[in-house]
Structure 1
Amino acid sequence: MTYLVYDGSFEGFLSVIFQCYQQDLSPANICREAAFQEILFAEKQFISTDEKQAERVWKGLQKKLHRRNKDLPYRTFLSEQPGIEMMLYRFICRLFDNNFSIETDYGDADVLQLKKIERQVLQETARLLEFVRFQETKDGIYFAPVEPAFDVLPFVLHHFKNRFADQQWIIYDIKRNYGFYYDLKTTQEIVLSEQNFSAWDGKVDANLLQENEVNYQRLWKNYFDSINIKERKNPKLQRQHMPQRYWKFLPEKSLK
């Protein structure tokens, strides 16, 4: 019973797939290194990330997948769902081992579940686009904290790079402790060693904000309150369209 362990990256997972074929491995499980727990009578094998091997697997997937499903492995991997590695491993093996399309074989439990997960990831991506709120800091950088249910931050970068091309910004996932910084030219992944913001709601320390930032947030809340019709307030419907887990990042919901 072999457990394959990798570094947790998508490239690392693709390297695992490559090694499964190269070494003729049939793993009992595939685990991220950070989540692996020693199991009695189980053999652990760590697979190092190899970018060339990962690229070969990815190119092979692109040739086998229909154009509407080309991002399915990456999207579902970033869902971080329990058991997603083995689900993708079985799907990819079946994809490579057959000359016919399996992508619409919803009688296969893995195919059906992966499509469901992909829809959830796409829905969360759309929500992230709607509910990102920036705070302007004294150094002219716009900072937006997020905490999506899935690791969908890479999917929204293109939108913000185009929408805010003339501004420096950071979108930071406080749950996963990483983000992306746009410097008016390129976008790069970052990890902030000094976090001058709340770990709960991402509010930047007041002494680091532009002088007018708090005023702008208060104006936005006043506008939100002024268009609200108290007699027609429907909290259940509001939570349906604006999930409550996003409220702490929204000035219109969090400012007193």
Structure 2
Amino acid sequence: MLIYSYDGTFEGLLTAVFECYRRKDSPEDIVSQKAEQKDMFAERFDVSADAAKAERVWSSAQKKLSKRNNQMLFYAFLSEEPGIEMKILRFLQRLFSEKYSIETDFGGSDVLSLSQLSQKVLKEAEKIRQFVRFQHTKDGLYFCGIEPRYDVIPLTVGHFRDRFANQNWLLYDLKRNYGVLFHEGKLEEVEISQKEFHSLTGKVNQDVLEEDEEFYQTLWKSYFKSINIKERKNLRLQQQHMPRRFWKYLPEISNKS
């Protein structure tokens, strides 16, 4: 049994696809080195991410995909769905071998699954753009800790960069322990070793908050209560627009809501 092992990045996965063709391999599985459970009886091939090889695969895929679906594989990859690597490999193998378009061939389980996953990831990214709030720290940084269902930070930073172009901010994924820092007009991926925030809720420790931040959070809570008339409360509808799992990141909603 042959297993491909890669670095967990999309570039690394596309490199693995390239190597499958170059080596004429048919791996049983493609696994991220971060989550790999080694099988002592399996033959293993370690893939090193190569930008040029990944670009060749990506460019070839773009030529055969419609504009509507040209990012579908990347979005689906961000879902981190178990087995996503092999689904993408099988999809690309069909894409490159078939003379007709397979994008709408939903009778094929991989096509349908990748399409559905990509839509779920896009919806998750939209919720992040809509519902997160930043907290202002004493050093002038706006911080937001989130725990999205999928790895959607790459799909949201452009929105926050445009919206908060004159501020320094950090959007941090608590589940995956990485974030994107926007500082002096530049984006940078970061990992925080000394955390000044709660690892579960993402709330900044009180001693590093800017003096007026608590007051502003109180105003947000007051505003939410003023429009949330108890007699007219429709919790089911409210959750459709703002899922409960996002509530812990919003200062306007207390745990008692």
Q: What is the TM-score normalised by the length of structure 2?
A: 0.96
* Residue matched to 2:89: 89
* Residue matched to 2:245: 245
Q: Which runs of 5+ in 2 are unaligned?
A: none
- Give SS of 1:200's match: coil
Q: Structure 1 residue 236: deviation in Å?
A: 2.5
Distance, in Å, in 1 between the alignment partners of 2:98 and 2:184 is 45
Kept in 1: contact 2:145–2:201 (CA 8 A): yes
* Residue matched to 1:219: 219
Q: Which moved more, 1:183-192 or 1:38-47?
A: 38-47
Which amino acid letter does the alignment assign opposite residue 166 of structure 2? D
Q: Structure 1 residue 184: deviation in Å?
A: 3.4
Correspondences of 1:153-192 after superposition (within 5 Å): 153-192=153-192
* Residue matched to 2:18: 18
Considering only aligned residues, what root-mean-square deviation do their CA atoms show, in Å? 1.3
- Give SS of 1:219's match: helix
* Residue matched to 1:138: 138
Which amino acid letter does the alignment assign opposite residue 153 of structure 1? I
- Give SS of 1:252's match: coil
Q: 1:198-229, CA deviations, whole angstroms, 9 ceiling, x for partnerless residues?
A: 00111111111110001000111011112211
- Give SS of 2:4's match: strand
Correspondences of 1:194-209 after superposition (within 5 Å): 194-209=194-209
Kept in 1: contact 2:248–2:255 (CA 8 A): no
Distance, in Å, in 1 between the alignment partners of 2:99 and 2:13 is 23
User: Sequence identity of aligned pairs in percent?
Assistant: 50
Q: Which moved more, 1:3-12 or 1:185-194?
A: 185-194
Q: Which moved more, 1:76-85 or 1:184-193?
A: 184-193
Kept in 2: contact 1:218–1:255 (CA 8 A): no
Q: Structure 1 residue 250: deviation in Å?
A: 0.7
- Give SS of 2:224's match: helix
Distance, in Å, in 2 between the alignment partners of 1:172 and 1:254 is 21
Kept in 1: contact 2:143–2:170 (CA 8 A): yes
- 1:102 paired with 2:118, answer no
- 1:234 paired with 2:256, answer no
- 1:34 paired with 2:34, answer yes
* Residue matched to 1:8: 8
Distance, in Å, in 2 between the alignment partners of 1:5 and 1:254 is 44
* Residue matched to 1:63: 63
Kept in 1: contact 2:178–2:192 (CA 8 A): yes
Which amino acid letter does the alignment assign opposite residue 173 of structure 2? D
Aligned residues: 256
- Give SS of 1:139's match: coil
Q: Structure 1 residue 73: deviation in Å?
A: 1.0
Kept in 2: contact 1:172–1:180 (CA 8 A): yes
Distance 1:216 1:255, change over 3 A: farther
Distance, in Å, in 2 between the alignment partners of 1:72 and 1:7 is 21
Distance, in Å, in 2 between the alignment partners of 1:4 and 1:210 is 48
Distance, in Å, in 1 between the alignment partners of 2:42 and 2:239 is 45
Q: Structure 1 residue 38: deviation in Å?
A: 2.3
Q: Which runs of 5+ in 1 are unaligned?
A: none
* Residue matched to 1:116: 116
Q: Structure 1 residue 63: deviation in Å?
A: 1.5
Task: Please identify runs of 4+ aligned residues in structure 1 that moved more than 3 A.
Answer: none
Kept in 2: contact 1:221–1:255 (CA 8 A): no
Which amino acid letter does the alignment assign opposite residue 186 of structure 2? T
Distance, in Å, in 2 between the alignment partners of 1:149 and 1:93 is 28
Distance, in Å, in 1 between the alignment partners of 2:79 and 2:61 is 19
Q: 1:135-181, CA deviations, whole angstroms, 9 ceiling, x for partnerless residues?
A: 00111111111111000110111111111111111111111001111
Q: What is the TM-score normalised by the length of structure 1?
A: 0.96
Q: Structure 1 residue 48: deviation in Å?
A: 1.2
Which amino acid letter does the alignment assign opposite residue 37 of structure 1? Q
- Give SS of 1:254's match: coil
